[in-house]
Chains A and B, each alone.
Chain A
Amino acid sequence: DIQMTQSPSSVSASVGDRVTITCRASQGISSWLAWYQQKPGKAPKLLIYAASSLQSGVPSRFSGSGSGTDFTLTISSLQPEDFATYYCQQANSFPRTFGQGTRLEIK
């Protein structure tokens, strides 16, 4: 199985800050990577697929980059509704696997 490791596990930031979350795959996955946002008590929401493609309806302050084993999710200017937990997920092979999550908290 491909292991996905996110860093940091949690981060505190303020409204308006720029935040970057990193995801590393245990082996190369080309650009087969998705990012999700999950708020408490809610289902995950797809933000990014194919490492850098923005899902329809997702604000442009979210962006993704990377290929191979190292990927990043960037939020350019944090909004109050962005405080949530973020997960990466590899789509290169089965079984599909997720990172452990990064909790984004208000400073």
Chain B
Amino acid sequence: QLQLQESGPGLVKPSETLSLTCTVSGGSISSSSYYWGWIRQPPGKGLEWIGSIYYSGSTYYNPSLKSRVTISVDTSKNQFSLKLSSVTAADTAVYYCARHLRAAPRDAFDIWGQGTMVTVSS
């Protein structure tokens, strides 16, 4: 069955760039009807959608983060990635990658990675 796995540094210094990769296994990232998304959750708080990407490279970003976020896809590796620049302590969170189903009337994040904790600290 399809699985997603996040990877990347667990500690990032303030003002630097957070970089995470999500590896998709058990299926193709190039499937139609699916985008691939990033969602984060600060400790003890709720969920915030960061952005989603289609295998063609088409992206949607949260305007609150858009100036700092880049999401990219590598179909040859069945991976997609997140870069968040100029991080501060407010970016400390568990970062999840998820499959973003978009096939009307179905539109939801239906498969999630386990999440990876990223702490911003010097």
Contact = CB atoms under 8 A, between A and B. Distances in A.
B67 to A, nearest CB: 14
Interface stretch (A16-24, A70-78, A95-103): A95-103
A50 B105 CA distance: 6
Contacts of B107: 32, 34, 49-50, 91
Interface string A1-42: 100000000000000000000000000000110101000001
Interface size of B as a range: 20 to 34
**Would you call the interface of chain B mostly helix, strand, loop, or mixed?**
strand
**Would you call the interface of chain A mostly helix, strand, loop, or mixed?**
loop
A99 B47 CA distance: 8
Interface of A: 1, 31-32, 34, 36, 42-46, 49-50, 53, 55, 87, 89, 91, 94-101
Interface of B: 37, 46-49, 52, 60-64, 96, 98, 101, 105-110, 112-115
